[in-house]
Chains A and B, each alone.
Chain A
Amino acid sequence: MKRHLLSAADLTRSDAELVLETAEELRSLADRPIKKLPALRGRTVVNLFFEDSTRTRISFEAAAKRLSADVINFSAKGSSLSKGESLKDTALTLEAMGADAVVIRHWASGAPHLLANSGWVRSSVVNAGDGTHEHPTQALLDAFTMWRHLGSLDGRRVTIVGDVLHSRVARSNALLLQTLGAEVTLVAPPTLLPVGVEGWGVETSYDLDAALPKADAVMMLRVQRERMNAAFFPSAREYSRRYGMDARRMGTLQDHALVMHPGPMIRGMEITADVADSPRSVIVEQVTNGVAVRMAVLYLLLGGSESALGGTTDVAGDAGKDRTIEGADGSATAGGAA
């Protein structure tokens, strides 16, 4: 069993599809008068945020609360973290408080992995974005949004545009979308493509105009100035002209193609306001879907006696109603407290 969600690569195709199908059932909750389900009653979810976040933290908080979990928000500002407490001591504090899951965002790539594998905590660890590494729940909500609009992602073409180098969203999406059968093209200036991108199994291009007409979905990335320590492009204006999504470029898309952005977006930089507010843009819907997807992840990790992700045997014959689990994998059984 996988108790943690650290990387989009942890998810097999059947895991990812289970998350999407579960999210689909949970999405209807938003239309009900009582937006609450009892699945995680008595469980504690800690949001541990070492880096600023609006959408992700609120989204995880709403997801955990709608599943009736107790939520503790812990952010670097205004806590002992700003006094220089180490990740280890923070983790031991959380363990002492009896957290069943820790949702962690950290500026250092690999921090969630360290937390999950250090033995400091027994809880499930969910990566909510670590440095320039990964952001798996963002990839799941992006895939979920595309899946709802486009149906199966098999053979679909997704173009990811912009600051790939600093983007954990791009990395997680590239992994997950390929797991789900989509073809991914990364478009960026040469300076903003990471070293080793050849090994990702994706196509790369420097030419946005050539990539757009065949795309089923275009994902615009924010230029992460705060992570830039060198001149990656001559000027913001030149970047916008070559890699920004504007009305003219949107006109070259296929009729069904979606325009996406993980947020926060810089209007006028990577995307113009008229595109962001156009009917093709699913940016606001991505936020709505984020809550459903995070509910699905928390439910599948914490809802039962053990995680439903990473099952070795998937008895999907009867609509997957009962997933018989053989106790073959005894590797991680410390589990959330029952």
Chain B
Amino acid sequence: MPAESASDPVTDPGTHHEGRTVLDSRDISRALTRIAHEILERNKGASDLVLLGIPTRGVPLAQRVAAKIAAVEGIDIPVGSLDITMYRDDLRMRPARTLLPTEIPHGGIDDKTVVLVDDVLFSGRTIRAALDAMNDVGRPKTVRLAVLVDRGHRELPIRADFVGKNLPTSLVESVRVRLAEFDGVDAVTIAGVAARSTDAEVLR
């Protein structure tokens, strides 16, 4: 499936993935600040909010948004993580994948407003899997979606409520999100055809 690796920027081992920087550290911070405010505005405050990050990059993004909400409202909202590995529609197409942590905050998600947080929205299949995974955890009042980058090319009827940056891309391009928590640097880069093909070689 072509959507596979690119929908999930972590899978690109491409240390050579230089590409063009679309968002730098300050841009990312500003985007997350705006998302935090939009979440509060939409929710009319911070009550009954739960942020669930999708591992791996969605988890620190959720924590950062929560920190920004805490700075504005003075309330620590619960943050957790939701692993979608076993709910992927391509689970059977590759060797069994390593599981990632699922941590549901104390108090659960029943009757809460859950905001799913991920780094890149692409095919929408990750989010579909996340909705299925959440179904087995509880029944939220509302589910919303916040992403740092929306690169288009949806394959399912799914959209984000809060978007850091809309990034029109072509299918041969790859988007890579790097975060200080994992990669030592905050940056969103986009690489074109040439870099993409070298990445593909590394993968296969």
Contacts and interface: CB of A to CB of B under 8 A. Distances in A.
Nearest to A25: B99
Given A304-B91, A318-B10, A22 B56 contact: no
Interface of B: 10-11, 13, 56, 83, 86-87, 91-104, 132, 136-138, 203-204
A303 interface: yes
Q: Is chain A's binding surface mostly helix, strand, loop or mixed?
A: loop
Contacts of A25: 83, 99-102
Contacts, number: 87
Interface of A: 1, 18, 21-22, 25-26, 28, 32-34, 36-39, 299-308, 311, 315, 317-325, 338
Contacts of A21: 98-99
B136 A37 contact: yes
Closest 4 CB pairs of A and B: A303-B96, A304-B96, A308-B96, A25-B99
B56 A37 contact: no
B13 A315 contact: yes
A22 B98 contact: yes
A17 to B, nearest CB: 11
24 contacts: A25-B101, A26-B99, A32-B137, A34-B137, A38-B86, A38-B87, A38-B132, A302-B96, A303-B86, A303-B97, A304-B93, A305-B92, A305-B94, A307-B95, A308-B96, A308-B98, A311-B95, A319-B100, A320-B98, A321-B97, A322-B11, A322-B97, A323-B95, A338-B92
Find the residue from B93, B99, B100, B138 having the highest chain A CB count within 10 A.
Answer: B99
A301 B87 CA distance: 17
A41 B92 CA distance: 11
Given A22-B98, A28-B102, A307-B95, A321 B56 contact: yes
B153 to A, nearest CB: 21
Contact of A321 (B87, B100, B132, B203): B100
